């Protein structure tokens, strides 16, 4: 079993930055793919950023140029640097990890972008 714990959420003003982190523990040997989803109130869950097992990176169009995903393969930790935040980025952000896809999930961390 794999446990994921996110951190770094909070309240930030529009145009500000936050850095989310997600650390894995447990049976992490096979973890290669990592990513972040988000879900805003009343909206469907949206894939924000993903790093595949071979290092391919994908971003949602809504965050391209503003968000950067990175990872530490040794520590099995994934990060999401979020810059130029907008009110529409307000959501609960969930990290996911797995061998090829996102099979395991954290409980989420709330990001609120507001004045």
Given a cut of 90, is residue 36 above it in pLDDT? Answer: yes
pLDDT of residue 102: 92
Q: How confident is the model at residue 71 (pLDDT cuts 50, 70, 90)?
A: very high
pLDDT of residue 66: 98
State the DSSP code for 31.
Answer: -
**Percent of the chain's residues with pLDDT above 90:** 86
H helix and E strand count, the chain = 0, 11
pLDDT of residue 73: 87
Tokens encoding 110: 């709330």
More confident residue, 12 or 30: 12
Given a cut of 90, is residue 57 above it in pLDDT? Answer: yes
Q: How far is CA 78 from CA 11, 15, 27, 30, 41, in A?
A: 21, 23, 16, 15, 24
Pairing of strands 10-12, 109-113: parallel
pLDDT of residue 18: 98
Q: How confident is the model at residue 28 (pLDDT cuts 50, 70, 90)?
A: confident
Q: How many CB atoms lie within 10 A of CB 5?
A: 14
Q: How confident is the model at residue 2 (pLDDT cuts 50, 70, 90)?
A: very high
């Amino acid at each position: 079993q794999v446990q994921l714990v996110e951190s770094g959420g909070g309240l930030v003003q529009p145009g500000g930055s936050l850095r989310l982190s997600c650390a894995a523990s447990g049976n992490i040997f096979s973890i290669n793919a990592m990513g972040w989803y988000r879900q805003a109130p009343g909206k469907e869950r949206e894939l924000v950023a993903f790093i595949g097992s071979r290092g391919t990176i994908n971003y949602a169009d809504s965050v391209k140029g503003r968000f950067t995903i990175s990872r530490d393969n040794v520590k099995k930790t994934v990060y999401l640097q979020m810059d130029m935040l907008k009110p529409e980025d307000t959501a609960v952000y969930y990290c996911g990890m797995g061998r090829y896809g996102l099979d395991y999930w954290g409980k989420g961390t709330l990001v609120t972008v507001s004045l």
